Structure 1
Amino acid sequence: MPQFSRNGASFSYLDEGEGDPILLIHGFASNKNVNWEYPGWVDVLVKDGRRVIAIDNRGHGDSHKYHDPADYGAPVMADDALALLDHLQIDQADFMGYSMGTRISAFCALKQPERVRSLVFGGMGYGVVTGVGNPEPIIEALLADRLSDVSDRTGRAFRAFAEQTGSDRRALAACMKSTRKPILEEDVARIAAPTLIAVGTKDEVAGDPHALAALMPHATVLEIPNRDHMVAVGDKVFKQGVLEFLEQFS
């Protein structure tokens, strides 16, 4: 996979297809392959005539692993994503994030709105504003000596996922420890790009997608039937909804 350098650190990305560019930003503890390639998103979007770009966020995948929480946070990772567009000399793109990637995409839209043609907020509703709960059980689970030492259900799920993806658990813990800068309701209201908010109807992590859409001037909601936070990402309803949403800008 190609890489680019930012502030002395290396970041991995994929760049496939031709046409209007779309930048994909994955969720916490995932990576560009697990979030986008394996569920078929890259193939679907390339076949739709798009240039598909996906970044490994810092601390994830094949990108640089920082172990200091001060090196993380959605605003910092938004700067990484925008730097990738600079590297590729892309002035404007559609953005699609999932979970943590949605928060990162939102900060991209706030930092450089002229570069964001449209947005897909996957796996995150009003949780963009409120956050997604207590991070401590996840941090403890990531740093535990063994998975068998973890009793918290959510913590076990994230620890198992981190092991499955071969992630650097110290880097993920540092990412989770970082100060999670809130996005205020009035900031969300400033995001003017057309936005599709796609959330599974059984997603207990995302928060209410309709409450988030109500804050935004040009947002619509796509409910992904009978899917939770982990499964919704690859759902065919999600894919078809995104293709129909993007078609209006082509």
Structure 2
Amino acid sequence: MPSMPAPIPLQTFPSDGVSIAYFDVGDGEPILCIHGFASTAHINWVYPGWVETLTKAGRRVIALDNRGHGASEKLYEPAAYHTRIMAEDARRLLDHLGLDRADVLGYSMGARITAFLAQRHPDRVRSAVLGGLGIHLVEGVGLPETIADALLAPSLEEITDPQGRMFRAFANQTRADRNALAACIRGSRNEMTAEEAGEIQCPTLVAVGTKDKIAGPPAPLAALIPRGEALDIPDRDHMPAVGDKIFKAGVVGFLGRRP
């Protein structure tokens, strides 16, 4: 069994007064990675081998802990987690690092943030990868708000909802701040209209597991985005798709093809 990659030291910067943790490794063209709900930069990108894959492909890899997650500041008002606000955290990290543009790779909630960033700041996003998020970007909001109830339940044993139980167990395992995560799920379930998705002008890869019931299928979303393309990740549900080798190969190939 391969050993777990070593943690990467984190730095912090202020994003409109909120402390955001991030790491910055490798050389080459920059790619900003934005993790999913209840995850962290390490859980989403280091441990499944993404940092190794991308640095070997000649990339500079930057990843942040979203507000309320990991080593970033915890906030407890749902309004603090609107997707537009979280997209500004990502944009300010590019500012902090002096980067005019970057490719952006997001997974699940991170893909939603990526889409909002690309739509609102088209000059900053060279290309976008929306992993674990298909047509539910515009039709439904992916994860249900009942996850917040599961996160705040007195114990795991009392939770009967399968998705809620999964995320509560994950939060317990990672020792996350469950109150902050509950506020996040309540504040970040924001849809984008089909017209707004059509304003995403950069090359965009939409990659979803074929067994993923959370994301919605990738092809209908890719069809809304002028330079969108879809990638099916075979036989993968939402969480197992994160580190899939076909997903990684698809992203590396996509980055190599884009202008």
Task: Calculate percent identity across the aligned residue pairs.
Answer: 56
Equivalent of 1:16 in 20, 25, 41: 25
> What residue identity is the alignment partner of 2:27?
E
Deviation digits for residues 150-200 of structure 1, max 9, x if unmatched?
111111011011111111000000011116332000010111100111111
Is the counterpart of residue 155 in structure 1 residue 164 in structure 2?
Answer: yes
Q: Which runs of 4+ in 1 moved over 3 A?
A: none
Equivalent of 1:86 in 79, 87, 95: 95
Equivalent of 1:143 in 149, 152, 156: 152
Alignment of structure 1 residues 130-209 onto 2, 5 Å = 130-132=139-141, 135-178=144-187, 180-209=189-218
TM-score normalised by length of structure 2: 0.94
Tell me how far apart the structure 2 counterparts of residues 44 and 51 of structure 1 sit (CA, whole Å). 11
**Which position in structure 1 is the counterpart of 2:80?**
71
Is the counterpart of residue 210 in structure 1 residue 229 in structure 2?
Answer: no
**Which position in structure 1 is the counterpart of 2:4?**
none
- Asked whether the 8 Å contact 2:141–2:189 carries over to 1, the reply is no
What's the C-alpha RMSD, in Å, of the aligned pairs? 1.2
Structure 2 CA distance for partners of 1:214 and 1:3, relative to 1, 3 Å: same
Structure 2 residues not aligned, in runs of 5+? 1-9
SS of aligned partner of 2:66: coil
> What residue identity is the alignment partner of 2:16?
N
Per the TM alignment, residue 137 of structure 1 is displaced from its structure 2 partner at its CA by 2.1
Tell me how far apart the structure 1 counterparts of residues 144 and 228 of structure 2 sit (CA, whole Å). 28
Per the TM alignment, residue 8 of structure 1 is displaced from its structure 2 partner at its CA by 2.5
Structure 2 CA distance for partners of 1:179 and 1:82, relative to 1, 3 Å: closer
> What residue identity is the alignment partner of 2:246?
V
> What residue identity is the alignment partner of 2:76?
H
Structure 1 residues not aligned, in runs of 5+? none
**Which position in structure 1 is the counterpart of 2:5?**
none
